[in-house]
Structure 1
Amino acid sequence: MWYDVPVTPVRRRADATENRARIIEAARAELARDADIRLNAVAQRAGVGQGTLYRHFPTRADLLAEVYRADVDELVAAAPQLLARHDPLTALRAWFGRVAAYAEVKRGVFAALEVATWQDLSAHSLGPIGDAVTLLLDAGKAAGVIRPDVDARDVIILIGYLSRLDAAEFDARGRHLLEVVLDGLRYRD
């Protein structure tokens, strides 16, 4: 029957894939500069025409959501990579450094997106980010350097303040507060 026909995913041409990646990176850079990004500035920075930008991202919200999703995916992928190269406490510290960079983008994205879109994005990220935090915490617990009474939800709640810091405070307080959180997660006899 017609509904039994398997659907194959659409493959993008190599140049379209490169354009999309450049657009996302340009949007990320524009967000770091100003949460109120202009799409023509993104297209110009990416070296693409407005038509190309709109073909990939029909609305500003679509583009911002994709920047957010890409950052979440990179943040989640970093956890096992960091654990492969570092001891658990150093890996968690390095991951927190990435969280700080992620929070700067997240703050801009959430300021720019509407509430309904934000809720969808938040639901997308909490599961994978929680899994990444659990991986890091479990490694630290196994090594005896992370308190046994903390879990991923504790950490996510604690680092949630990052999205609430205004731009003027972020550089001065963001990384310092992550060090305070890290210090509180350490196991002590």
Structure 2
Amino acid sequence: MVLELPSRRPKRADARRNFDALVAAARDAFADQGAHVSLEDVARRAGVSIATLYRNFPTREDLVAEVHRDEVEALCRAADDVADLEPWEAFAAWLERFAEYIGTKQAFSEALNRTTEGFQACRRAMREAGEPLLRRAQEAGAARPEATIDDVLRLISGVCAVEYVDEAQRRRVFGFALAGLRGR
């Protein structure tokens, strides 16, 4: 279920290389330093001028939106990757991928609540990717029947958007959340 979200990616090969380098550099910079990293640092990491960055992304939000779109498309593809697993295992594996997305991309946890059309499209894509997995787990009796995909995404976002003492604690808390979603 690859969902194509609107992208500003250029058609020309050289411009596309610069664009892709900027997105990759921004993803790394956001993961290292948060969404407020200097745009000059992003351009330097990508090996392009700041003018090239601004030509592709006139505002910081444009850059954050493109990186976010790219991450959401990967998350949507992950739903296909787990589709052959048993219903609960597929749903839990996709939620683990969603948790990684939230936990390592703090720059995007705020973005999930923004109201711009691009961010809304990303939220819809995540719901559309996870909904069939939840429904399948519910039909198998493996997930709580009253849970909605919006409930689940908010729960996992809340669990993962905080700092933990260590990775073991994060995994325990995530496990508690999963246990709460299991069917009775």
* 3-state DSSP of counterpart to 1:83: coil
Over aligned residues, Cα RMSD in angstroms? 2.8
Structure whose CA Rg is larger:
1
For 1:7, the equivalent position in structure 2 comes to: none
Query: C-alpha displacement at 1:33, in angstroms?
Result: 0.8
Measured in 2, the distance between the counterparts of 1:27 and 1:11 equals 17
Corresponding position: 1:179 with 2:175: yes
Structure 2: state its 5+ residue gaps. 1-8
Q: Aligned pair count?
A: 174
Question: Contact 2:25–2:45 (CA<8 Å) still a contact in 1?
Answer: yes
Task: Give runs of aligned pairs for residues 18-97 of structure 1, distance below 5 A.
Answer: 18-35=17-34, 36-84=36-84, 86-97=85-96
Q: Which of 132, 149, 153 is the equivalent residue of 1:135?
A: 132
TM-score by length of 1: 0.76
Amino acid at match of 1:20: F
Query: C-alpha displacement at 1:172, in angstroms?
Result: 5.6
Amino acid at match of 1:80: D
Measured in 2, the distance between the counterparts of 1:64 and 1:148 equals 35
TM-score by length of 2: 0.78
For 1:14, the equivalent position in structure 2 comes to: 13
Amino acid at match of 2:174: L
* 3-state DSSP of counterpart to 1:48: coil
Query: C-alpha displacement at 1:156, in angstroms?
Result: 2.1
For 1:146, the equivalent position in structure 2 comes to: 143
Name the % identity.
Answer: 35
Q: Structure 1 pair 65/174, CA: closer, same or farther in 2 (3 Å)?
A: farther
Deviations 1:107-135 (A, max 9, x none): 32466x7xxx9322542333222222211
Q: Structure 1 pair 153/135, CA: closer, same or farther in 2 (3 Å)?
A: same
Question: Contact 2:25–2:42 (CA<8 Å) still a contact in 1?
Answer: yes
Q: Structure 1 pair 170/49, CA: closer, same or farther in 2 (3 Å)?
A: farther
Question: Contact 2:30–2:105 (CA<8 Å) still a contact in 1?
Answer: no
For 1:4, the equivalent position in structure 2 comes to: none
Query: C-alpha displacement at 1:32, in angstroms?
Result: 0.8
For 1:6, the equivalent position in structure 2 comes to: none
Query: C-alpha displacement at 1:79, in angstroms?
Result: 1.0
Q: Which of 156, 160, 177 is the equivalent residue of 2:157?
A: 160
Amino acid at match of 1:102: Y
Query: C-alpha displacement at 1:27, in angstroms?
Result: 0.6
Amino acid at match of 1:185: L
